[in-house]
Amino acid sequence: MGTFTDTDSNGKVLNTGKYIVVWKKQKGKYLIIAEISNSDAKGK
């Protein structure tokens, strides 16, 4: 669970948002079994 920031090559912020990832241990290895992210940008 966390936040993200997308920037262009000049460092200008293009987008921010939140994400969550669900991990499961199978046969000694952790695998991503679900993930979702949401932008903080308002819809048009």
Res 42: pLDDT: 82
How do the pLDDT tens digits run along the chain, 44 residues long?
A: 999 999 999 999 999 999 999 999 999 999 999 999 999 988 66
Which residues on neighbouring strands pair with residue 7, listed in sequence order? Answer: 13
Residue 14 lies in a domain: yes
Residue 44 lies in a domain: no
Taking Cα atoms as reference points, which of 38, 41, 44 lies closest to residue 14? 41
Res 3: pLDDT: 97
Taking Cα atoms as reference points, which of 19, 21, 14, 26 lies closest to residue 2? 19
Expressed as residue numbers, the domain containing 9 is: 2-39
What is the pTM assigned to this prediction? 0.70
> Considering its fold, how many domains does the chain have in total?
1
Residue 35 lies in a domain: yes
